[in-house]
């Protein structure tokens, strides 16, 4: 196997590419239309997939999320019923180049090269184009890298069309007219091999850092679970709580129903006196609607039916608690009427009680009481929530525990943030490397 290195020098001579989004390219590179580099392009069909994951031996339909930034991912594809009229021309095969036909503006036109035969027998849907490549004309890997480059991403966004801004489409005709710019076939393979090596190294670093962040996240969760049910003094005599999800608690702690320490706030925003609309974002908590950006539900025009929220209140999305959609408010305002708003009955108990809502055994137990079709959309009612028993230490001990957890979880969060910053830096490096190599801004040379 030949070794390749990234030379410091650029190519010796450049010329105008003739396209605005690319500007100049190496002098010996040429423009190739996609339609001349492929045998054909097919759009899938629209099967009625079942609401379950495909199993070994069954046929499945490819999920759009399997296509991401040039890579194909084996994920939980949806199963097709036995009665499906399977069409052989829509089977995903090795060396297929898949392009999303319809998606959000940020993701439409995303592509991937299927490097190995999929584990499952998969069909691609009408939301996906499949390109079969003329390997004598262009390197499949090079074409994939080029179409995933940041420069080309701009062109795909411009090409997309749609009746609204949330979902757009790219036509076959547009894709056929796309131009790629490339060196001779042998140099394409050299570039592709270099990028395979370097992106694999970056991906490995990202994977290791992601695992590290996950371990710290698990450490944080374990710390909260242990502290709010066991306290800080490990030598303290323990007793059985009588509640399965709690287990043992310190002997002097009480076990009380939520209604004894938290009350349901049902106050409405009469005559629209309050105009600060608050949003609840999973994993983040309560924030003013104006600060959340394009996340979650839209602000209603009439706020009169909304519930009042005050600083220190707990706000829980009765439909999405299972995915962490709850928080403690630092603001006065109003929120959706489908949310459960709760107020601690005693001063200085709020922060400790909030931590109870963060522990996984508690979340799992509450979610088991929900009613609905989808697991993550189980509706939880105050009438069920209020009767759940929770551990309840003396108020002074609650404050000590809450302060301790504030300090420790803040330290862990800072570590996780540092790791995530490193991950984002590596992702940006990967994106820049691919873009600069396939557009000829920097040169890969055989050593």
Do residue 386 and residue 254 come from a single domain? yes
Give yes or no: residues 200 and 272 share one domain: no
* Residue-level pLDDT at 300: 85
Rounded to an integer, what is the distance from CA 76 to the centroid of its chain? Answer: 15
Is there a domain that residue 275 lies in?
yes
Residue 338 lies in a domain: yes
| pLDDT for the residue numbered 89 | 79
Say what the pLDDT of residue 376 is: 47
Residue 403 lies in a domain: no
β-strands 102-103, 168-169 pairing = antiparallel
Q: Rounded to 5 degrees, what are φ and ψ at 175?
A: -60, -40
Mean pLDDT of 83-106: 84
- 113 strand-pairing partners: 97
Confidence of residue 104 (pLDDT cuts 50, 70, 90): confident
Mean pLDDT of the chain, nearest integer: 88
The 3-state secondary structure of 24-64, one letter per residue: EEECCCEEEEHHHHEEEEEECECCCCCCCECCCCCEEECCH
**For residue 1, what pLDDT band results from cuts at 50, 70 and 90?**
very low
440 and 353 in a single domain? The answer is: no
In this structure, the answer to whether residues 432 and 321 fall within a common structural domain is: no
Say if 416 falls within a structural domain: no
Return d(Cα 107, Cα 379) in angstroms, integer.
31
Q: Of the given ranges (110-119, 137-146, 384-393), which has the lowest mean pLDDT?
A: 110-119
Q: Which residue has the higher pLDDT, 292 or 24?
A: 24
Helix/strand/coil for 308: strand
DSSP string across 160-175: -B-SSSS-EE--HHHH
Q: What is the mean pLDDT of residues 104-121?
A: 86
Residue 373 banded pLDDT, cuts 50, 70, 90: very low
Strands 102-103 and 78-79: unpaired
pLDDT of 62 strictly over 80: yes
Residues 293 and 281 sit within 8 Å (Cβ to Cβ): no
Distance CA 392, CA 243 (A): 13
Pick from 386, 381, 292: nearest CA to 333:
292
Res. 88 pLDDT band, cuts 50 70 90: confident
| Residues in Cβ contact with 186 at an 8 Å cutoff, skipping those fewer than 6 apart | none
Q: Are residues 150 and 266 in the same domain?
A: no
Compute CA 200 distance to the chain's CA centroid, rounded to the nearest angstrom.
21
Indicate whether 192 and 269 sit together in one domain. Answer: no
Indicate which CATH number applies to the domain containing 265.
Answer: 3.90.220.20
Domain, as residue range, for 168: 4-206+425-446
Assigned domain for 343 exists: yes
User: Is there a single domain that holds both residue 385 and residue 429?
Assistant: no
pTM of the prediction?
0.83
Domain count, the chain: 2
| Domain co-membership, 40 together with 181 | yes
Cβ–Cβ < 8 Å for 113, 144: yes
- The pLDDT, as a whole number, for residue 116 is 84
Region 235-255 average pLDDT:
93
**pLDDT, tens only, 129-166:** 999 999 888 999 999 999 999 999 888 888 888 766 67
Q: Would you state the structure tokens that stand for residue 313, as one six-digit string? A: 């209140």
Say which residue, 302 or 377, is predicted with more confidence.
302
Q: What percent of the chain clears pLDDT 90, i.e. is strictly above it?
A: 55
Are 179 and 320 within one domain?
no
Residue-wise pLDDT for 303-349, tens only, equals 988 999 999 999 988 776 655 678 899 999 999 888 999 999 998 88
* 40 assigned to some structural domain: yes
Check: CB of residue 99 under 8 Å from CB of residue 147. Answer: yes
Q: Is 412 among the domain residues?
A: no
Tell me, yes or no, whether 274 and 195 share the same domain: no
């Amino acid at each position: 196997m030949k070794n390749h290195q990234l030379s410091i020098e650029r190519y010796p001579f450049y010329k105008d590419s003739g396209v605005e989004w690319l500007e100049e390219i190496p002098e010996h590179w040429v423009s190739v239309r996609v339609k001349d580099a492929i045998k054909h392009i097919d759009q899938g069909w629209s099967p009625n997939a079942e609401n379950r994951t495909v199993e070994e031996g069954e046929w499945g339909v490819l999920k759009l999320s399997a296509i991401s930034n040039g890579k194909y991912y084996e994920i939980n594809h949806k199963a097709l019923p036995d009665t499906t009229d399977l069409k052989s021309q829509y089977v995903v095969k090795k060396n297929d180049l898949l392009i999303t036909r319809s998606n959000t503006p940020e993701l439409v036109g995303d592509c991937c090269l299927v490097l190995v035969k999929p584990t499952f027998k998969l069909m691609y849907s009408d939301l996906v184009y499949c390109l079969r490549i003329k390997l004598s004309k262009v390197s499949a890997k090079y074409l994939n890298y080029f179409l995933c480059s940041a420069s080309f991403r701009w062109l795909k966004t411009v090409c997309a069309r749609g009746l609204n801004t949330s979902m757009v489409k790219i036509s076959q005709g547009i894709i056929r007219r796309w131009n790629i710019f490339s060196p001779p076939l042998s140099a394409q393979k050299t570039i592709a091999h270099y990028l395979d090596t370097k992106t694999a190294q970056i991906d490995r670093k990202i994977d290791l850092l992601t695992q590290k962040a996950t371990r710290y996240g698990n450490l944080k969760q374990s710390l909260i679970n242990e502290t709010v049910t066991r306290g800080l003094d490990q030598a303290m005599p323990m007793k059985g709580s009588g509640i399965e999800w709690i287990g043992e608690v310190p002997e002097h702690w009480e076990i009380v129903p939520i209604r004894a320490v938290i009350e349901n706030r049902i106050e409405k925003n009469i005559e629209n006196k309050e105009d600060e609309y608050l949003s609840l974002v999973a994993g983040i908590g309560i924030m003013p609607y104006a600060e959340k950006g394009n996340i979650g539900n839209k602000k209603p025009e009439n706020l009169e039916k909304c519930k009042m929220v005050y600083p220190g209140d707990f706000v829980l999305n009765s439909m999405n608690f299972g995915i962490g959609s709850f928080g403690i408010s630092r603001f006065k305002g109003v929120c959706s009427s489908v949310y459960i708003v709760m107020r601690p009955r005693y001063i200085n108990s709020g922060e400790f009680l909030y931590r109870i809502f963060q522990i996984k055994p508690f979340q799992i137990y509450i979610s088991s009481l929900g009613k609905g079709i989808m697991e993550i959309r189980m509706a939880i009612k105050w009438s069920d929530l209020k009767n759940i028993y929770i551990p309840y230490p003396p108020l002074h001990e609650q404050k000590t525990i809450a302060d301790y957890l504030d300090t420790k979880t803040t330290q862990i969060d800072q570590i996780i943030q540092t790791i995530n910053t490193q991950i984002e830096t590596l992702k940006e490096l990967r994106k820049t490397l691919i873009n600069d190599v396939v557009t000829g801004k920097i040169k890969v040379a055989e050593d």
